[in-house]
Amino acid sequence: MSEVNLTPDLIDRTGDALHRVASVFNGEHLPFLALAAVPVAIWLWLFLSHKRENRFLTFAIFLAGMLAVIPIFVFQYEIARIEESLKGLLENLVLTTALTGLWVGFYEETAKMWIVKLTGRSFFQDIDDAIILSITVALGFSFVENVLYFYSIWNNAGIEESMRWFYVTFRSLGSMLLHIIASGIFGYYFGIACFAKPVLIDKLSQGKRFIFTKRIHQILHLKSETVFRDEKIFEGLIIAASIHAVFDFLMGMSQYFTDAGSSVIARIWLLLAIPFLVGGFFWLTYLLDKKEDHKTYCEVGEPDPLDQKSCEIHEPKARQN
């Protein structure tokens, strides 16, 4: 019977997920909508001032990013069940928390990745565009998360008001920054994947060998840019999920010691997230400022890049003020 009811149940849960996303604009969520919008506006201003983008397109991508939470809502019971299974199978606190963080991080970053991929390669002129687009998707995702999270903690009578503001501040600065860093770094690798063939030719002309890509190209008889593109998308996803997992691990350990009444140890785990986020932010800004990320790559025809090592690469255009 479970197999027969799977499709209707999935449809119902999808409908419920859509309703939850739409509910962030309900009157009861209005104060939290404004509260969540402030950090989003600040982050958008910060990154869009880095590079002038089409404002309507940016808004549309932000709305698309909000939809990335839908698969999280649809499969939240399965996610929770896997988390509980990990806790049941493993008695080691550190290992259980780490694997749970990795699972949740991979799932959330995959959801955001599909939105980025569906948004389309046609919007990109350079790798930098892909980074900004991915960050915008992440902001849409975390915006919905924060509205619903703020609403839930404000209606939790067991939380003191001072702690409520602490959670709001931490979510606005910490968790939102985590989504920005993970998605932005994925966007870098996705941008390389979008320009796989000219980037591959450019790197080959610089003396890079790409032994793994060449071997897969020869064994499977796939185009080298296809192998290179999929390799970069997978690499970006793994790095983004790992960054997410480390942050969730730190938060999970902090929560465990908070529940155990060891507030000092809980704060230590929480404070460890600060240098981690600062380091991730500097990594992201480094990628945004890399000269090669602002190159406009030309379209390249046949033959395969591993046999053709020439292509005109346009230098970065002057940044608009």
Contact 190, 130 (CB under 8 A): yes
Q: How far is CA 5 from CA 9, 76, 80, in A?
A: 6, 18, 21
Helix (H, G, I), strand (E, B) or coil at 242: helix
**Percent of the chain topping pLDDT 70:** 81
What does the pLDDT look like over 143-154, one tens digit per residue?
998 888 888 888
Tokens of 180: 């920005």
What does the pLDDT look like over 110-129, one tens digit per residue?
989 998 888 766 677 788 88
Distance separating alpha carbons of residues 197 and 203, to the nearest angstrom: 10
DSSP, residue by residue, 113-178: HHHHHHH-GGG-SSHHHHHHHHHHHHHHHHHHHHHHHHHHHHT-TTS-HHHHHHHHHHIIIIIHHH
Distance separating alpha carbons of residues 272 and 122, to the nearest angstrom: 40
Decide the pairing of beta strands 313-314 and 296-297.
Answer: antiparallel
User: Lowest mean pLDDT: which of 9-13, 17-21, 84-88, 163-167?
Assistant: 84-88
Tokens of 96: 């259980």
What does the pLDDT look like over 211-270, one tens digit per residue?
777 777 677 767 788 888 889 999 999 999 999 999 988 888 887 787 777 778 878 888
Task: From 144, 87, 150, select the one nearest 111 (Cα to Cα).
Answer: 144
pLDDT in the model for residue 246: 92
Contact 291, 316 (CB under 8 A): yes
The residue written with tokens 């000219």 in the block is 198
Query: b or e along 34-64 (b: 16 or more beta carbons within 10 Å of the residue's beta carbon)?
Result: ebbeebbeebbeebeebeebeeeebeebbeb
What does the pLDDT look like over 34-76, one tens digit per residue?
888 988 998 888 887 766 667 778 888 899 899 888 888 887 7
The stretch 79-100 carries a mean pLDDT of 71
Residues in Cβ contact with 69 at an 8 Å cutoff, skipping those fewer than 6 apart? 17, 21, 111, 141, 144, 145
Contact 284, 236 (CB under 8 A): no
